[in-house]
Structure 1
């Protein structure tokens, strides 16, 4: 009887460890109270609230990405979101001190959400907007992709069995979407791919609709053209993907 009980308890523990890739998030907000002479910062992101390695991996990746977005001065050493916010505000304060007549207020807004999750994978998208003077601000997104079973963040190459194989498929779909024939130069309609060669964007991630490729403004087209977005349904691209998505 004791042996059976021990086996039962061991099985429960084993199953709990095996399935320890479940995630729970809570909203996490950062920013400052509105004021006339300070930069406006508003950040809302999901925070993984467990003690697992996966939670730490996700929260660390989010923190580092937000610091990268907010750091106006590369010489500043910011190790937390609060420090990055302070750095952003300090740079605006320096500008106001140097040019007191400057009335334009700096602004930073970052919002994060889970756009895809299954037993193996997780994707979080950060939508952000920065305004630091000039004719217009700059808005974009960042995708963060994670392998839940290994508790690691994935780079773009790790998403695919063979990234060059997928790149060829993506180029054909890009040409189809943008009305560029296979015999024409990829830049024949005004795109600005370097060396006139198609390449994947740095920014890609999963949504419930499939894999999204996001070319930022200026990445392959003019600012006026806005971002270029391609979405590939899972059933069309599963053969290219390293991890099962459905």
Structure 2
């Protein structure tokens, strides 16, 4: 079976004049390029086909091999689990082979089947410094049915040792109650809900009818972003929910000696 295949590697560079301190800061950061991986089944016309389109970061330079290994493992595992977590696939080519074979099998079982299958996944670096690197994975996966599966997932890592970061690593102890209060005000405003309205009555599925953030969060220049995917806290028809919390509203909750406070310092230096 003949397949179209292309891999592109694009590296980013920085142009401009930096002061000595800024130059040292830039030098310490992990440098990323972008990889693109595309494959499709032999016939891709009105009879339908299967297609994979992936875009993801490639580490160009890293001052620490352990960090490089950790981040590369996260990126590859995220891509390989697009199709199946049970198969324990070892490479993108192996995933593509299984995906295409399953599509061909579906076409053999149902000769009139013309619905295309698709895996589309983009992993982006949304924050990168010498303290924290934050990734966002946007996924769309369709293998038949009423609609495809889509999602947005964040992962955050310590840039110095490659360890994955949880909210509790970044915030003061007993932060949850206050953070949830701040986030709920934003949530209700965006959803146009009265402050006293029942979340359950409005169609949301929070446990015990009480708003609570999840651990699906990313780090950006202007604050933290949380994301609830389809079916997580509401029916599919209500869509996903994104909540952005400015650093100015949670500064008192951030660990003074933690990595997120270093992010605020870094943002101050660069502004």
TM range (shorter): 0.7 to 0.9
2:252 corresponds to 1:239: yes
Partner of 2:96: 85
Aligned to 2:52: 41
Unaligned 5+ residue runs, structure 2? 1-24, 265-271
Q: Residue by residue, what CA displacement relative to the aligned partner does 1:206-237 show, whole Å, maximum 9, x if unpaired?
A: 12332111111111112122111110112222
What residue number does 1:185 align with?
198
Query: What's the C-alpha RMSD, in Å, of the aligned pairs?
Result: 2.5
Is it true that 1:164 corresponds to 2:171 in the alignment? Answer: no
2:75 to 53, 58, 62: 62
* d(CA) in 2 for partners of 1:84, 1:157: 35
State the SS of the aligned residue for 1:173. helix
Instruction: Give 1:94's aligned residue.
Output: 105
Bigger drift between 205-214 and 74-83 goes to: 74-83
Assess if the C-alpha contact under 8 Å between 2:138 and 2:151 holds in 1: yes
Alignment TM-score, normalising by the size of structure 1: 0.81
Residue 201 of structure 1, CA deviation: 2.7
Give a deviation string over 1:124-179, Cα, whole Å, max 9, x none.
11112111112222322111111112321223443433352323432343234334
Q: Secondary structure at the match of 1:46?
A: strand
Partner in structure 1 of residue 147 of structure 2: 136
1:102 deviates by: 1.0
Point out 4+ residue stretches in structure 1 off by more than 6 angstroms: none
Deviation per CA, 1:9-67, whole angstroms, max 9, x where unpaired?
Answer: xxxxxxxxx99852111212222146326420010101113462212111111111122
How many pairs align? 227
- Matches of 1:21 and 1:172, distance apart in 2: 38
Give the TM-score normalised by the residue count of structure 2. 0.74
Identify which range, 226-235 or 173-182, moves more after superposition: 173-182
Shift of 1:110: 0.9
Q: Secondary structure at the match of 1:152?
A: coil
Deviations 1:165-210 (A, max 9, x none): 3234323432343344454433232212233232213421112332
Residue deviations 1:95-133 (CA, integer Å, cap 9, x gap)? 222222211110011112111122311111111211111
Matches of 2:88 and 2:246 in 1, distance apart?
41
Residues 92, 34 of structure 1: alpha-carbon distance in 2 compared, 3 angstrom cutoff: closer
Of residues 208-217 and 152-161 in structure 1, the stretch that sits farther from structure 2 once superposed is 152-161
Q: Secondary structure at the match of 2:82?
A: helix
Which residue in the other structure is 2:214 paired with? 201
